């Protein structure tokens, strides 16, 4: 005869009733003692038993892994704060250094352009062909400046037909860097002067240059002009240069 078993003792290999799922020893112990497994344990929820559907020939119940929830679900990796600065968090010093990196190559290119390639220097042209074309056409007497200093530079020269006649136009840069145009034309002055001086051109009185009487005129903006009216030809010296430079060019015409 076996000795009496304690009331709370659980058989080592409990056999479940027919048709019931097997129970692990730990669960049997917990059920007998009324203990509950601690929450959040590493083991997590255990697989559930799913009965096979009817008509499939029976078989043992299948184990289905539970869907992780809550603390069991994996969390995405979080990037540590302060590893990378956003653009809005850059300091003024960082932005100044970035701007400096862009400006230095531009400054070097400008220095090379001005120092070695002659940047911003006016392109000097030869006015000879334009004067020769005007003389060959013999449409009016042609005068050409003589005795101007080396500071005077010719930057344009054209002879072309226009509405009402022909124009000889030569552009100069004065020693002070101002622009002056010398215009000789057989276009009637009542049509030529409004074209060259605009409606703002108004006579300001006569002035004598080289024994000839010129008329002083205002022009567009800051321009001023000297006008010589002759039969069959009108000569205009106009630009934003000082009056002394305008008179010098007009007095040099021969």
Higher pLDDT, 232 or 73: 232
Contacts by 52-58, CB closer than 8 A, 24 or more apart: none
Average pLDDT over residues 89-114: 80
Higher pLDDT, 183 or 200: 183
Residue with tokens 């020769």: 132
In the chain, where are the structural domains located? 128-251
Q: What pLDDT digit, counting tens, does each position of 23-73 carry?
A: 555 554 454 455 555 544 444 555 555 555 555 555 555 555 556 555 555
| CA dist., res. 160 & res. 168, Å (int) | 7
pLDDT-derived band at 152 (thresholds 50, 70, 90) equals very high
Q: CB neighbours (10 Å) of residue 42?
A: 5
Which CA distances in Å does 191 have to 131, 149, 202?
A: 23, 33, 14
Higher pLDDT, 42 or 171: 171
**Degrees to nearest 5, angle at CA 118 with 116 and 121:** 165
| CA dist., res. 250 & res. 184, Å (int) | 12
What mean pLDDT, rounded, does the chain reach? 78
Percent of the chain with pLDDT over 90: 47
Per-residue confidence (pLDDT) for residue 99, from 0 to 100: 84
| Residue whose C-alpha is closest to residue 154's, from 186, 137, 135, 179 | 179
Is the pLDDT confidence value at 89 over 80? no
- Contact between 197 and 183 under an 8 Å Cβ cutoff? The reply is no
Per-residue confidence (pLDDT) for residue 40, from 0 to 100: 45
CATH number of the domain located at residue range(s) 128-251 in this protein: 3.30.200.100
């Amino acid at each position: 005869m076996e000795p009496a078993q304690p009331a709370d003792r659980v058989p080592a290999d409990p056999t479940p009733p027919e048709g019931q799922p097997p129970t692990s020893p730990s669960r049997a112990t917990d059920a007998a003692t009324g203990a509950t497994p601690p929450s959040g344990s590493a083991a997590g929820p255990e697989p559930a038993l799913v009965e096979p559907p009817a008509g499939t020939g029976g078989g043992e119940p299948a184990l289905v892994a539970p869907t992780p929830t809550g603390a069991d679900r994996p969390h995405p990796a979080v990037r540590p704060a302060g590893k990378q600065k956003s653009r809005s968090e850059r300091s003024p010093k960082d932005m100044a250094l970035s701007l400096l990196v862009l400006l230095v190559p531009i400054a070097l290119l400008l220095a090379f352009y001005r120092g070695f390639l002659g940047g911003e220097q006016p392109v000097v042209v030869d006015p000879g062909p334009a004067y020769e074309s005007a003389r060959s056409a013999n449409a009016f007497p042609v005068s050409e400046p003589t005795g101007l200093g080396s500071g005077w530079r010719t930057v344009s020269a054209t002879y072309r037909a226009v509405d009402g006649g022909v124009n000889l136009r030569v552009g100069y840069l004065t020693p002070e860097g101002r622009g002056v145009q010398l215009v000789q034309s057989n276009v009637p002055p009542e049509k030529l002067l409004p074209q060259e001086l605009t409606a703002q051109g108004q006579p300001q009185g006569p002035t004598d240059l080289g024994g000839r009487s010129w008329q002083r005129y205002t022009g567009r903006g800051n321009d001023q002009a000297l006008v010589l009216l002759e039969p069959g030809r009108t000569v205009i010296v106009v630009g934003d240069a000082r009056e002394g430079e305008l008179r010098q060019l007009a007095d040099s015409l021969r």
